[in-house]
Amino acid sequence: MNFAPAVFFSAAALAASQIVSIGPQNAFVIRQGLARQHIVPIVAICILCDVLLIGLGVMGMGKLLNAIPGFFGLTLLASALLVAYLGLRALRAALRPGSGIPTTKVAAERRAAIRTILAVTLLNPYAWFDTVVLIGGVSASCQPEARPSFYAGALFASVLWFCLIGGLSTRLAPWFARPASWRWLDGGVAMVMFGTALSMLWRFHLA
């Protein structure tokens, strides 16, 4: 196998453009890091899920899914509804007087944290679209001998991103000792998720 630096870095840039956003998965990772609850296993699971999903895409599963009539549109619609619902939950938490660290959003038990991160990753239609369909579709344009470099580059971006937000959120935990800080965080997450949901609905309209 020959290492292809150009393919590696282009794949890393593509993967970064898809994962660097405040969606359900990243919001949960940040929240758990700020609460200093089980951040190491959560980050590890996020990376392992990307190993699986990106691997499926590189192996060609994305082309099979995209061939299903209406798959693209239904994925966008389901993702928009999920993100809008989570945005409403975040907005409700932000507007709740005296709200601190909501126990429903910070999983104190390891098993609960693992179940939640698996759910927001593997049951999120847009996560499948981003990794299996989009990233996998781009990998299909590479020569077969360059696809391992593409896969490695995409995973490099994933590892770097999740380690970064996991570590930084843990370091920022003292700033979130006051309940008001969590309300501002929830408000910001809600606005980003509403914007993401609207963007998905617009793409669904154009599809």
| Mean pLDDT to the nearest integer, 176-197 | 80
Confidence (pTM):
0.78
Question: What pLDDT does 54 receive?
Answer: 93
Q: Percentages helix, strand, coil for the chain, rounded to the nearest 5?
A: 80, 0, 20
Q: Are 39 and 32 in contact (CB under 8 A)?
A: yes
| Least-confidence region, from 79-88, 111-120, 161-170 | 79-88
Residue 188 has pLDDT above 60, yes or no: yes
CA distance 66 to 46: 24
Report how far residue 182's alpha carbon sits from residue 188's, in angstroms, rounded to the nearest whole number.
10
Q: Please tell me which residue, 182 or 145, carries the higher pLDDT value.
A: 145
Per-residue pLDDT at 97 = 59
Distances (CA, A) of 133 to 20, 21, 126: 17, 18, 10
Give the pLDDT score at 1. 61
Question: What residue ranges do the domains of the chain occupy?
Answer: 5-206
**What confidence score (pLDDT) does residue 105 get?**
53
- Burial zone of 78 (CB within 10 Å; 0-12 exposed, 13-18 middle, 19+ buried): middle
Q: What are 114-131's pLDDT values in tens digits?
A: 998 998 888 888 788 888
